[in-house]
């Protein structure tokens, strides 16, 4: 029930949950109407949409690179499924629309997500969709193949200080009160963490 309230925007972020907010009334009582008060629904939350937009590369997508003969391949599929190669042709026939999308998915190995189906109205939209590459790499990994400015250097294999291996200064660190906590499952196999013992002054 609480999930339904959040889904329909009935609860605001950081709103205290009490009987009045958990089960709100969207209508005014007679006493409230006599006082000139009226209840209005709260605006719907857009945090979910903003969260999806902020994730960007973290969304579950498959890597996709348009083939070199994309236009020729789509032209053949358009002719077989729709019977027309004119890019301005609108996809109004649901049966032909489904057959075209299924044929494109089998031939090109990429399906049109449900969130974008309403945007595909013409054959030109289909061409633009399959002509757009999908890069699932993180911005950090993209820098490996980018031409960076001369004043920018990225150290991909960075070094983590550890008292067992870095004994140049007698195992002393520049941050005596900071521990190195490796929380990632993949990072644990690559980097070693340690808990720094804090030495309190003796009085």
For residue 43, what pLDDT band results from cuts at 50, 70 and 90?
Answer: low
Taking the complete model, does pTM exceed 0.75, yes or no? Answer: no
All CATH 1.10.1200.10 domain ranges in the chain, comma separated? 60-148
- The runs of H, that is alpha helices, within 90-198 are 94-108, 123-130, 139-142, 185-190
For the chain, the maximum distance between any two Cα atoms, rounded to a whole number of angstroms, is 90
Q: What CATH number matches the domain at 60-148, 1.10.10.10, 1.10.1200.10, 1.20.1250.20, 1.10.8.60? A: 1.10.1200.10
Give CA angle at 157 (153, 161), nearest 5°. Answer: 110
Taking only the tens place, the pLDDT of each residue in 94-149 is: 999 999 999 999 999 999 988 889 999 999 999 999 999 988 777 888 888 889 89
């Amino acid at each position: 029930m609480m999930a339904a309230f959040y889904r329909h925007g009935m609860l605001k972020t950081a709103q205290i949950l009490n009987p009045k907010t958990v089960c709100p009334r969207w209508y005014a009582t007679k006493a409230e109407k006599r006082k000139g008060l009226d209840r209005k629904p709260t605006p719907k939350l857009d945090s979910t949409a903003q969260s999806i937009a902020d994730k960007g590369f973290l969304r579950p997508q498959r890597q996709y690179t348009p083939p070199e003969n994309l236009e020729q391949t789509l032209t053949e599929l358009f002719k077989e499924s729709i019977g027309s190669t004119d890019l301005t042709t609108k996809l109004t026939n649901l049966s032909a629309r489904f057959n075209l999308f299924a044929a494109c998915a089998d031939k090109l190995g990429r399906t049109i997500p449900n969130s974008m189906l309403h945007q595909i109205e013409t054959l030109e939209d289909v061409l633009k969709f399959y002509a757009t590459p999908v890069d699932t790499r993180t911005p950090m990994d993209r820098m490996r193949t980018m031409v960076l400015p001369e004043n920018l250097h990225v150290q991909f294999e960075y070094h983590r200080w550890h008292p067992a291996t870095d004994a140049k200064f007698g195992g002393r660190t520049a941050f005596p009160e900071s521990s190195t906590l490796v929380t990632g499952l993949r990072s644990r196999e690559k980097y070693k963490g340690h808990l720094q013992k804090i030495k309190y002054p003796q009085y």
